[in-house]
Structure 1
């Protein structure tokens, strides 16, 4: 196929009529990179779980297991930058004079990725002029550990990786009066964000609890997808 044919193929399959498609690009390479419509995050489900299957029920025992204590969730976090923040014990609800043998210990486990949109096959004219929708989606376990167990912060960054062009945060509060133990969706669509976007910084934090045993809050299906469409502005 000729360069013109590859360009026409990209335009037709991604419905990019009206979007800037400069002739200087190697449209065969762009087509093979498939930058539109696919998940640009690496390793979106480190725990090996699917949102189409209920989260596993935690195993609770009466005595500690004969093994070193664990303070971080298990999983293959290849592609993610991870960190842990231990939180101080909350003694606010304990009446004066009451002796407590053990309090739950909480921590945040943070996971982040930086997506280079140009390296993934997108081009400057498309990002600056057409500004296709950038769709964020994530699923976390309704674990009942605490009233706040999940936080999300996604930033669209400029070429210097520092300038924030658009940002979305989510910090949902859990209803602990009922127990459904399902996956909960968090999503957002960036549209009309303006020119200059070159990177997407995706960061979410999930709360864990340690009390005799370690209880994590799990997640699955994280995604950053650039659609070949744009919302009305």
Structure 2
């Protein structure tokens, strides 16, 4: 196929009428990359869970497993940059002299991916002039460990990976009186964000708890089915 035929194929299959389609772009490579409508998040379910699978009644009611205690999240985190932030233990309500048999240690487990939009097949003129809608979706397991167990932070970045052109953050609160944990959805649609976007930073923070002493156990908040999808829809004014 000729370059013109590859370009025509992109326009017809993605419905890109009105989008800038310069001849300088390698349309065969763009078509094969399929950047529109495809999830750009690598390894979207690193914990091996799916929002479509049922959850147990309550993790906190499960008996801790025998053997060495688990202290870190489990899963395949390839494609993600991870870090752990341990939170200070709250001993303010413990009277002096009281022997504590078990204490909770909370921590934030952060997972981030930086998506190179041009490497995924998008081109400058599409991002700067057409500014397609960018749909963000994530699911997390409401563990009810605390009122806030999940955060999502998404940033649209410039070519230097530092300039923030647009961003969205969400920190939902949980109903700790709920009878059982459930999968919760968070989503956002970026539109009209302006020119210059070349990268997207996708980060979520999951709260975990380690219990020492007689009630020893590790309880983690899970994520699943994370997605970043570029829509073939013009959103700029």
Category of TM-score, reference length = shorter chain: over 0.9
What secondary structure is seen at the aligned counterpart in 2 of 1:4? helix
Q: How far does the alpha carbon of each residue in 1:155-188 deviate from its partner, in whole angstroms, 9 at most, with x for none?
A: 1000000000001111111111112311100111
User: Once the 2 structures are TM-superposed, how far is the Cα of residue 232 of structure 1 from its aligned partner?
Assistant: 7.0
Query: 2: CA distance between counterparts of 1:95 and 1:231?
Result: 58
**CA-to-partner distance for each residue in 1:106-148, whole Å, 9 max, x for gaps?**
1111100000000000000000000001111100001111111
Q: Is the 8 A contact 2:3 2:28 kept in 1?
A: yes
Q: Tell me, yes or no, if structure 1 residue 127 matches structure 2 residue 127.
A: yes
| Alignment coverage as a number of residue pairs | 231
What residue is the counterpart of 1:218 in the other structure?
A: 222
1:39-188 paired onto structure 2 within 5 Å? 39-56=39-56, 58=59, 60-61=62-63, 65-94=65-94, 98-188=98-188
Q: Alpha-carbon deviation of 1:100? A: 2.6
2: CA distance, partners of 1:12 / 1:154: 31
What is the CA distance between 1:65 and its match in structure 2? Answer: 4.3
Secondary structure at the aligned position of 1:67 is classed as coil
Deviations 1:69-114 (A, max 9, x none): 2221111111001111111112234456644322211111110000
- What SS does structure 2 have at the residue aligned with 1:147? coil
Task: Give the gaps of 5 or more residues in structure 1.
Answer: none
**Deviates further, 51-60 or 70-79:** 51-60
| CA apart distance, 1:3 | 1.1
Q: How well do the aligned residues superpose, as a CA RMSD in angstroms? A: 1.6
Contact 2:139 2:186 in 1 (8 A): yes
TM-score norm. by structure 2 comes to 0.92
| 1:32 paired residue number | 32
> Scaled by the length of structure 1, what TM-score is found?
0.94
DSSP-derived class of the 2:73 partner: coil
Preserved CA contact (<8 Å) 1:137 1:187? yes
Whole-Å Cα distance in 2 between the matches of residues 143 and 84 of structure 1?
Answer: 18
